[in-house]
Amino acid sequence: MKNQFDSVVVMEPESRALPKGAPVRDEVVRLVREKRYEEALAVLYQARSESPGDRELQASIERIKEFLAGAYAKRLGGLDKVAGPIPMSAGRSPDALLVARYVDGSSTFDDIAQMCPLGRLRTLQVLVGLYTGREVASPFSERTSPTVGERTSPSVSERTSPAISEMTPAPVRRAFDTMPEAGADMAPPTMPARGVQRRPQEPPPDSKPFTLPVAESAEDRRYREAFARGTAAFVQRRYAEAIEAFEACARMRPGDAGASVMLRRAQRERDLGG
């Protein structure tokens, strides 16, 4: 089956997805042909950090992100599907615990992707891990990327359906992974860490996939705390408190999608008498 992504991103020399002559072009083309899309995205992030004004690099990043989001959505059964109960065997990484707070039995995967402060793509990655039992590790972000050519953790193509990866042999993994393999995880989260462990160890604090910026401003801290208060109040059905907290977030960051979505939901639940 021909991969729909081949016609969109850097598959041929005449492709317009990357600037001609870009030093990273050959590396990205190779990674895309090997269906290692997350790694290709990491290489592009690194290149953009060195050339922040390059619009073609940004266009390439957006195309790969769009494809990955679509691939994750397909594995979840569609973004308009309501997120059901999380399996007991799901991982407990910091990202997983954060995303799990937004699974309330009524929110769709799209709602959660908009509300969660991890960002749309990373939230969908974590949701795939929660519902399939296999963490989709993100050892890079827009702030940190691996060295060009260095192997990272398995990409979505190595863990997705045959429609995406049936024609590609699994690449050899190297020791860059920052999160453990969760494929053999069959024990509940409460299983004691004794004897032969069947659950992976959680990553150490200095290698968490999601960390706050090192130089967090006072305003960033106030926003984060207000959003956390609002989320906790919403989950506990204290909608008036939730509205107050999310209104404060909206004042601090006008136009913020996460605060706007949560504010509308809290107002709707309050009006319905929830």
> Over 121-140, what HEC string results?
HHHHHHHHHHHHCCCCCCCC
Phi, psi of 3 (to 5 degrees): -75, 125
What's the mean pLDDT in 237-264?
89
Residues 6+ apart with CB under 8 A from 184: 198
134 shares a domain with 222? no
Asked whether the predicted pLDDT for residue 227 surpasses 80, the reply is yes
Check residue 45 and give its pLDDT. Answer: 84
| Other CB atoms within 10 Å distance of the CB of residue 96 | 20
Number of domains in the chain: 2
82 shares a domain with 19? yes
Check residue 248 and give its pLDDT. Answer: 92
138 shares a domain with 262? no
Regarding predicted confidence, which is higher, 63 or 166? 63
For residues 62-81, one letter each, b for 16 or more C-beta atoms within 10 angstroms of the residue's C-beta and e for the rest, the string is ebbbebbbebbbebbeebee
CB 151 within 8 A of CB 171: yes
CA distances from 132 to 19, 85, 111, 200 (A): 37, 12, 19, 15
Of 170, 188, 206, the last residue of a domain is 188
170 shares a domain with 106? yes
Asked whether the predicted pLDDT for residue 18 surpasses 90, the reply is no
230 shares a domain with 184? no
Domain that holds residue 265: 218-271
What's the mean pLDDT in 49-57?
83
Q: What percent of the chain has pLDDT over 90?
A: 10
Mean pLDDT of the chain: 70
Check residue 109 and give its pLDDT. Answer: 92
Highest mean pLDDT, choosing among 148-152, 168-172, 245-249: 245-249
Domain annotation covers residue 213? no
Q: What is the pLDDT of residues 74-84, one digit of tens each?
A: 989 999 999 98
The Cα–Cα gap between 65 and 2 comes to 19
